[in-house]
Chains A and B, each alone.
Chain A
């Protein structure tokens, strides 16, 4: 074989690497917000993470469409908390809510099903003036008093006490089953909770919150017209609404619409969103624009028909979690499919149809994991991870120097450059695909140190093999590289395969770990091809570094030399190896 394979122009490769690194850092500093920090997960910066697990009757995967719809609704609620940086992501078939910072406690109650209700419009719409809202004084918390928890009965995860929906207190026991049923096929009835009963962070059992809700109810859900008037005046549509999702369906309600532009006084709910069979956006056949066509289940159609018969000409409000989504006028008694007309464009109509179809979350969720990490603990974790990484690197450095002498410097350089390339990639991924680095991810990087060092070792041991066969260091490099390359590629392929499978199939923290491991593997290849190999080629050409005593190759070189002698003696004038 000619020795052309494995012969490279080292400087060219190194230049390519430098160009890549420069490009990455340029992207970090000159695109986006230019801040050179990766996105940190809540376990590293403090905050709350809630994992919501959908519950379906069969235990089957819920349809993706429903999951995305639920994500949207919960996202709106999270934004309602007014915390920046909060997000809701779909993770497998789970939804994960992350709320950074210290205001995340309420995030635990976001997984409850959104209630779509039909209420009579008693007064309104009134323009929403911006007025400061008088915050009601929170009452004394009553720990352990279940009636003080206005828990929306999370279907499927109804607390063992069977809290009726929207109970204001013991005096107000209204038995009403609001099991949310998916409107699109397949029909899903939430299952009763399995033993052991799941903890219910999804119920707003926080006494302070409960008190806040209670006082808001007294104000805004009063049947007394004068109180309603006052409530209407004091209601600030831009403030956080404590009643979001906690409105009592049996009482009137003073509410804003979703755009925060109008206020309404509404009557009690006469029909629940669960009675909707389907809703679709269609083009208006009789005029311009779009309409939403609505169909009800049999019982709901009956109720709806009766109500519309008695209230022709009036407005009817569709409320979602206590906010008015839409308040169309009833033009005629409606039995059967209903058409809602308005100044809809296609997007509006589709959105309204979506809300009507899925308004009550299409799935019932169980909070399978809720974690609040204090900023202190987050910082401690981050520090611990970094320190562990540095110590791990230092140990590898020391051992590398001890074992590989001067060439250990190349190992260190390779690792350092890997780190130099990993960091900007991390920042950019955080910016582009929202990748957050969590503690498991940090651990993934630390473990990847071993993989990166390993590529180096494979190559190096190959060189030793070649030299044992009697080659000089210089001629061993290209040949050793050709063979080491194959092993490095296949070994890294296995490692990457493992990470990819984990990333695609696993949930929770596993993903962060798998992602960083896979990322490191890919970057490791770049470093080995563009840095390690060229550097060793350069070293091989330099007299000082390739001194066997210095390079830790003395033994192999001696063996090789001996072997050459043996062969020479044996083969006399023959070709030799």
Chain B
């Protein structure tokens, strides 16, 4: 266990993520299918903002009759003439409040209802005295949620287009595509989990869903940045294949991604606990919940989904296939030579992000290719050749080889 943590921390321990991509693909496909199925067949548990209705909330601390759910129901029924849809108590201690939900009431029903509730329970506000003004209410027409959702979908569309443009400029096409797939996965999975669990969907939830997009992309951008760096000049080298370079990048950013998600989730958890604990329901809890689900989905997809897809897309390019073949050939030749530095491959990596180093490496590779008529050597240091000097890091690529 300590070994795993250590490998995580230093980022050199090779967790083979790309190699198991089939596992991830299958897992993610199943997850997405379940989510889509749930969205289609179960639908969502929509809050009053979408269905339209009235919500009344007042402090549970009362000067007259204790405000328990049944008593509140009775008052409602007496004034309105039928049962409310739901009465619940929310929050704890001094912040506890009673929440009534019903179909839309117009003011001619609402005002007497508030008055009756006040007369019956005398809820006490911040001032310590009972007053009518402590009874909050909100009435929403069914079209409001629809309007918010419509705007949100427009925003989602625009955002996707802009992000695609941004990514296409910033990364290459296959990266942009992979990032978008991961992004869509996050949206579908988050929505699906809402549908599966039956969490209530409020406008705040829709907002939260949109902000997840930013976060999920953010994560993916960081991973891809590293991939990009690790694969510079890859085609001219035979050190490792694209898949391996991407896997190394994943390993190097693994702890960062985990940390990022943890750092982001911590405040969200606080938001959720406090939001539910003190307020019971509402904006804070809604936002926190959707963010939490989204951050976890985003972290997983940027690590386990986006990069494998990227590798697959890349490997469809014949150049990368040929390069992978060259790498394999070279390894097959090198396999005859015992290599004590095995496993330390990452340690003796030249720093490919440094232009000077990269140029040197490419020169070296070209020189090796030019010397292809010679018996091949592996260019890695640490090999026990007969000469005093290794072919590892010659001062200059002279093309000469000691025998």
Contact = CB atoms under 8 A, between A and B. Distances in A.
Interface string A455-467: 0011001001100
Contact of A366 (B133, B135, B141, B354): B141
Given A196-B52, A494-B163, A562-B347, A201 B278 contact: no
B245 to A, nearest CB: 15
Interface class of chain B by DSSP: helix
Interface residues of A, number: 114
B149 to A, nearest CB: 10
B322 interface: no
B151 A92 contact: yes
B282 to A, nearest CB: 7
A483 interface: yes
B259 A457 contact: yes
Interface residues of B, number: 111
Contacts of B389: 572
8 contacts: A366-B143, A388-B284, A446-B271, A447-B267, A458-B222, A510-B152, A556-B10, A566-B347
Interface in A469-496: 469, 483, 486-487, 490-491, 493-495
Given A392-B266, A392-B267, 10 more contacts: A1-B354, A207-B111, A373-B136, A375-B125, A439-B283, A457-B260, A464-B11, A556-B10, A574-B394, A577-B350
Contacts of B362: none
B266 A577 contact: no
Contact of B152 (A46, A385, A506, A575): A506
Nearest to B279: A384
B25 interface: no
Interface in B249-303: 252-253, 255-256, 259-260, 262-271, 273-275, 278-279, 282-284, 287-288, 291
Interface string B134-162: 11111111111001100110110011001
Nearest to B253: A461
A507 B150 CA distance: 10
B108 A144 contact: yes
A548 interface: no
A490 B270 CA distance: 28
B54 interface: yes
B107 to A, nearest CB: 4
A234 B267 CA distance: 61
Interface of A: 1, 43, 46, 51, 53, 92, 94, 102, 105, 108-109, 141, 143-144, 146, 149, 159, 194, 196, 198-201, 203-208, 366-377, 379-381, 383-385, 387-389, 391-393, 395-396, 399-400, 403, 439-440, 442-444, 446-447, 449-451, 453-454, 457-458, 461, 464-465, 468-469, 483, 486-487, 490-491, 493-495, 497-499, 501-502, 505-510, 513-514, 517, 555-556, 559, 562-563, 566-567, 569-572, 574-577
A233 B28 CA distance: 79
B6 A372 contact: no
Contact of A454 (B218, B225, B273, B350): B218
* Candidate in A372, A494, A570, A576 with the most chain B CB atoms within 10 angstroms: A494
Contacts of B206: 510
A567 B357 CA distance: 15
Given A144-B108, A200-B107, A566-B347, A450 B266 contact: yes
Contact of B270 (A388, A465, A509): A388
A240 to B, nearest CB: 18
A371 B52 CA distance: 13
B275 to A, nearest CB: 6
B267 A501 contact: no
Given A384-B278, A567-B348, A201 B211 contact: no
A367 B140 CA distance: 8
B291 A498 contact: no
Contact of B133 (A369, A374, A381): A374
A575 B395 contact: yes
B319 interface: no
A450 B210 contact: no
B278 A380 contact: yes
Contact of B381 (A468, A556, A567): A567
Interface of B: 6, 9-12, 49, 52, 54, 57-59, 79, 91, 95, 97, 104-109, 111-112, 125-126, 133-144, 147-148, 151-152, 154-155, 158-159, 162-163, 166, 170, 203-204, 206-207, 210-211, 213-215, 217-218, 221-222, 225, 229, 252-253, 255-256, 259-260, 262-271, 273-275, 278-279, 282-284, 287-288, 291, 341, 344, 347-351, 353-357, 381-382, 389-390, 392-395
A316 to B, nearest CB: 35
Contacts of A577: 350-351, 357
Contacts, number: 350
A567 B381 CA distance: 8
Nearest to B54: A199
A491 B229 CA distance: 16
A272 B172 CA distance: 64
B271 A443 contact: yes
Contact of B144 (A143, A368, A384, A464): A368
A384 B143 contact: no
A497 B126 contact: no
Given A510-B148, A566-B348, A381 B279 contact: yes
Given A51-B144, A509-B204, A570-B390, A447 B125 contact: no
B280 to A, nearest CB: 10
Contact of A204 (B107, B158, B210, B355): B107
Contacts of B341: 566, 570
B283 A497 contact: no
B108 A509 contact: no
* Candidate in B229, B270, B394 with the most chain A CB atoms within 10 angstroms: B270
A457 B266 CA distance: 15
A489 B12 CA distance: 26
B225 A501 contact: no
B12 A377 contact: no
A458 B106 contact: no
B347 A502 contact: no
A102 B136 CA distance: 10
A502 B211 contact: yes
Contact of A563 (B142, B143, B255, B348): B348
A109 B111 CA distance: 13
A446 B274 CA distance: 12
Given A51-B144, A572-B389, A199 B282 contact: no
A241 to B, nearest CB: 19
Contacts of B142: 196, 198
B275 A388 contact: yes
Contacts of A493: 166
Contacts of A94: 147
Contact of A399 (B229, B266, B271, B288): B266
Contacts of A468: 10-12
B136 A53 contact: no
Given A144-B108, A566-B344, A574 B393 contact: yes
A490 B229 CA distance: 14
Contacts of A196: 52, 104, 142
Contacts of B229: 483
A439 B282 contact: yes
